[in-house]
């Protein structure tokens, strides 16, 4: 018998609906889902912590409590990013331990733990904490293809994880690129090595090979397969649950699940799928076998295309693809999963736009120092020299990255105490500790729930609807770009520059500003008019938000001095002076959005 791990409540909508499914969409069908007898249900973790507080005005802790209560018969599982928990950076041990304690207390039974680099040191603390709290550890290895990621590599690491206390094991093929033979060989290898824990295969339909890979995995003895109910399956999401159940029916691997009940559940989720139709991306539904050639995951590709468009360089797509593969090799073949996909992808974009390793992001530096963990293969020495300088050896750490972090819980607790309008519960402190800015806004009741397709006042293809969607969901900008013919994809010409929209019955005057962003009258104070071209003008070579100013008027600067930092493509980058002189004028302030070519300062 094979069992299924159902992902409609987490991975599926994270893959296809920008993680926007709400608790209110889950509860009405919970009772029926609970009757199926799934091995486990993925309901929490990953982006389902960040998105609810940021976009849905929903408390993630309340969600897990409600789901646990509504589905008492099925284990509730969360995706836990090792020392990154449910964010994108390392946390100290005290936060990781406390988080796992709280997650278990609020209703999580199974913890799927993975580290982007498969650095097992990063997995120790979360694994031990889950065991201490009586939870089930599902230890994962991130799957990727490279000369170092051999069958032996995976089998040896699984052996170690099995000794570290894993209850079940999992191959996490987040990019959906595992081939049938590869799936067979790794699972067979694990079984032949005498590893006793059941093994799970997690994949996505991206390459189009996944149905075949699942069949071969079954033949090799896989115990659990990851699927998602059909309305949010296929393409960049997982293979469909009902299809896998039907395919295995009557064989020795029969799941024994009630197919009729599953089809009934399907009908419900079709309505949920429709409720978020403004987020549908047609390309995400297609298979993309090109991933098998260049090993760059589909999700990362669409992200890169979007980032290139932001930087006004969408013609460089092919170059970036080749560069991404090259950077990944130079950096020791990290699996391309959050956060390493971002490190590699952004560095590749920088290399193509500005020359190889001419602009180096803070994240690339941290990666090379070992702050994410140990890369699967050594980073090329010439790259280390370029990134960290001639004394690169002194900069590299050889301890576990979190060993360098100070405990944080008490500090965050006393910080939150200052905000007397926030109830000081452990869960609230944790929300604040993980996402200090967004979390605090949410805890203070200042977050607002986004609209759904049903709230849209105008037809979906209406210009104003496009404008509203673009405003609320910057990341779906590419959806609208895709629906336009190529010659119309840039320039604000076909979009009205000023109009009135109604939100919750209240009219808002909306004005399109030249960068393509929106300005709501009265809500945002107008930025001072920036001059276009002047002597000694320092311009931004990327689109982003100014994080900090490192100089003030009258300061003397030299070539190469850092004058400001900018957040572009979710990464912090330094802006350096290209001339010697004095800062005569500054045209930006911290928090400003700037476009490529915008004037920042005058240095004469």
Residue (45 or 180) nearer to Co ion, CB: 45
Residue (202 or 466) nearer to Co ion, CB: 202
Residue (11 or 119) nearer to Co ion, CB: 11
DSSP annotation of 228: B
Q: According to the binding rule CB under 5 A, does residue 11 interact with Co ion?
A: yes
Q: What's the min distance (Å) between Cβ of 11 and Co ion?
A: 4
- Tokens, residue 542: 């990327």
CA 368, 155, 2: angle at the middle one, nearest 5?
Answer: 120
Interface positions, 406-435, toward Co ion (CB under 5 A)? none
Site for Co ion (CB under 5 A): how many residues?
Answer: 2
Q: What's the min distance (Å) between Cβ of 472 and Co ion?
A: 25
**Stretch in the footprint of Co ion (CB under 5 A) among 7-15, 125-133, 304-312, 426-434:** 7-15
Residue (11 or 80) nearer to Co ion, CB: 11
Residue (336 or 546) nearer to Co ion, CB: 336
**Stretch in the footprint of Co ion (CB under 5 A) among 4-12, 23-31, 261-269, 528-536:** 4-12
What number of other Cβ atoms are within 10 A of residue 113's Cβ?
27
Q: What is d(CA 133, CA 130) in angstroms, rounded to the nearest whole number?
A: 5
Residue spans of alpha helices (H) in 255-370: 259-275, 282-285, 291-294, 298-310, 317-330, 340-354, 362-369
Q: What's the min distance (Å) between Cβ of 469 and Co ion?
A: 25
Q: Three-state SS for 44? A: strand
Q: What's the min distance (Å) between Cβ of 8 and Co ion?
A: 12
Residues with Cβ within 8 Å of 259's Cβ and at least 6 positions away in sequence, in order, are 242, 245, 246, 249
Render 70-122 in DSSP notation, one character per residue: H-TTS-EEEEE-GGGTTSSS---HHHHHHHHHHHHHHT--EEEE--TT--THH
Q: What's the min distance (Å) between Cβ of 10 and Co ion?
A: 9
Residue (112 or 412) nearer to Co ion, CB: 112
Q: What's the min distance (Å) between Cβ of 202 and Co ion?
A: 6
Beta pairing class for 593-594 and 544-549: antiparallel
- Tokens, residue 382: 């010439």
Residue (295 or 595) nearer to Co ion, CB: 295
Q: What's the min distance (Å) between Cβ of 403 and Co ion?
A: 29
**Stretch in the footprint of Co ion (CB under 5 A) among 6-14, 18-26, 265-273, 361-369:** 6-14
- Tokens, residue 127: 């694994």
Q: Three-state SS for 564? A: strand
Residue (11 or 323) nearer to Co ion, CB: 11
Interface positions, 167-226, toward Co ion (CB under 5 A)? 174
Q: Are 369 and 362 in contact (CB under 8 A)?
A: no
Distances in whole angstroms, Cα of residue 54 to Cα of each of 49, 301, 428, 436: 9, 24, 15, 12
Residue nearest to Co ion (CB): 11
Q: What is d(CA 577, CA 537) in angstroms, rounded to the nearest whole number?
A: 10
Q: What's the min distance (Å) between Cβ of 300 and Co ion?
A: 13
Residue (102 or 174) nearer to Co ion, CB: 174
Q: What's the min distance (Å) between Cβ of 295 and Co ion?
A: 16
DSSP annotation of 52: I
Q: What's the min distance (Å) between Cβ of 91 and Co ion?
A: 22
Phi, psi of 263 (to 5 degrees): -65, -35
Q: What is d(CA 527, CA 107) in angstroms, rounded to the nearest whole number?
A: 47
Q: What's the min distance (Å) between Cβ of 154 and Co ion?
A: 17
Q: Omega into 339 within 30° of 0, i.e. cis?
A: yes
Residue (11 or 242) nearer to Co ion, CB: 11
**Stretch in the footprint of Co ion (CB under 5 A) among 10-18, 277-285, 304-312, 403-411:** 10-18
CA 363, 369, 374: angle at the middle one, nearest 5?
Answer: 100
Residue (233 or 351) nearer to Co ion, CB: 233
Write the burial class of residue 507 (CB in 10 Å: 0-12 exposed, 13-18 middle, 19+ buried).
exposed
Residues that bind Co ion (CB under 5 A): 11, 174
């Amino acid at each position: 018998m094979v069992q299924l791990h159902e992902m409609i409540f987490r991975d599926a909508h994270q893959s296809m609906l920008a993680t926007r499914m709400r608790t209110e969409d889950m509860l009405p069908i919970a009772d029926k889902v609970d009757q199926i007898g799934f091995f486990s249900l993925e309901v929490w973790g990953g982006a389902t912590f960040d998105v609810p507080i940021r976009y849905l005005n929903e408390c993630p802790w309340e969600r897990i409590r409600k789901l646990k209560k509504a589905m008492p018969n099925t284990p509730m599982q969360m995706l836990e990013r090792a020392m990154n928990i449910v964010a994108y950076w390392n946390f100290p041990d005290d936060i990781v331990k406390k988080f796992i304690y709280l997650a278990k207390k609020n209703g999580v039974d199974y913890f799927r733990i993975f580290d982007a680099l498969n650095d097992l040191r990063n997995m120790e603390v979360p694994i031990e904490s889950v065991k201490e709290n009586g939870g089930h550890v599902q230890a994962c290895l991130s799957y990727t293809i490279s000369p170092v990621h051999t069958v032996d590599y995976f089998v040896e690491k699984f052996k170690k994880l099995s000794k570290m206390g894993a209850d079940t094991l999992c191959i996490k093929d987040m990019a959906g690129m595992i081939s049938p033979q590869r799936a067979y060989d790794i699972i067979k290898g694990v079984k032949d090595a005498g590893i006793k824990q059941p093994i799970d295969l997690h994949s996505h339909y991206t390459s189009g090979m996944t149905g075949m890979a699942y069949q071969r995995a079954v033949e090799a003895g896989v115990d659990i397969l990851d699927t998602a109910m059909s309305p949010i399956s296929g393409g960049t999401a997982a293979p469909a649950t009902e299809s896998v159940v039907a395919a295995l029916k009557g064989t020795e691997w029969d799941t024994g699940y009630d197919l009729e009940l599953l089809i009934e559940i399907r009908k419900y989720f079709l309505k949920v799928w429709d409720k978020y139709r403004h987020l549908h991306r047609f390309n995400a539904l297609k298979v993309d076998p090109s991933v098998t050639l260049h090993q760059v995951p589909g999700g990362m590709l669409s992200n890169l295309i979007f980032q290139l468009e932001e930087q006004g360089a969408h013609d460089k797509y092919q170059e970036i693809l080749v560069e991404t593969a090259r950077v990944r090799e130079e950096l020791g073949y990290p699996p391309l999963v959050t956060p390493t996909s971002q490190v590699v992808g952004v560095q590749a974009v920088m290399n193509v736009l500005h020359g190889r390793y001419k602009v180096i992001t803070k994240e690339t530096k941290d990666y090379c120092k070992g702050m994410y963990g140990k890369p699967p293969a050594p980073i090329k020495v010439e790259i280390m020299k370029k990134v960290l300088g001639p004394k690169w050896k002194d900069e590299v750490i050889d301890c576990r990255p979190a060993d360098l972090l100070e405990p944080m819980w008490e500090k965050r607790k006393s910080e939150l105490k200052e905000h007397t309008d926030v109830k000081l519960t452990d869960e609230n402190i944790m929300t604040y500790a993980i996402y200090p800015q967004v979390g605090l806004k949410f805890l203070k009741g200042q977050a607002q729930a986004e609209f759904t397709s049903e709230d849209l006042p105008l037809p979906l293809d209406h210009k104003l609807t496009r404008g509203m969607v673009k405003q609320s969901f910057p990341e779906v900008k590419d959806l609208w770009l895709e629906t336009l013919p190529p010659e119309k994809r840039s320039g604000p010409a076909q979009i009205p520059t000023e109009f009135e929209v109604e939100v919750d019955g209240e009219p808002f005057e909306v004005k399109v500003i030249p960068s393509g962003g929106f300005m709501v009258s009265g809500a945002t104070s107008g930025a001072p008019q920036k001059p276009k071209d002047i002597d000694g003008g320092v311009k931004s070579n990327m689109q982003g938000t100014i994080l900090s100013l490192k100089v003030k008027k009258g300061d003397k600067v030299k070539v190469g001095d850092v004058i400001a930092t900018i957040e572009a493509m979710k990464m912090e980058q330094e802006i350096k002076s290209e001339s010697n002189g004095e800062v005569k004028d500054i045209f930006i302030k911290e928090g400003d959005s700037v476009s490529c070519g915008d004037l920042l300062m005058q240095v004469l």
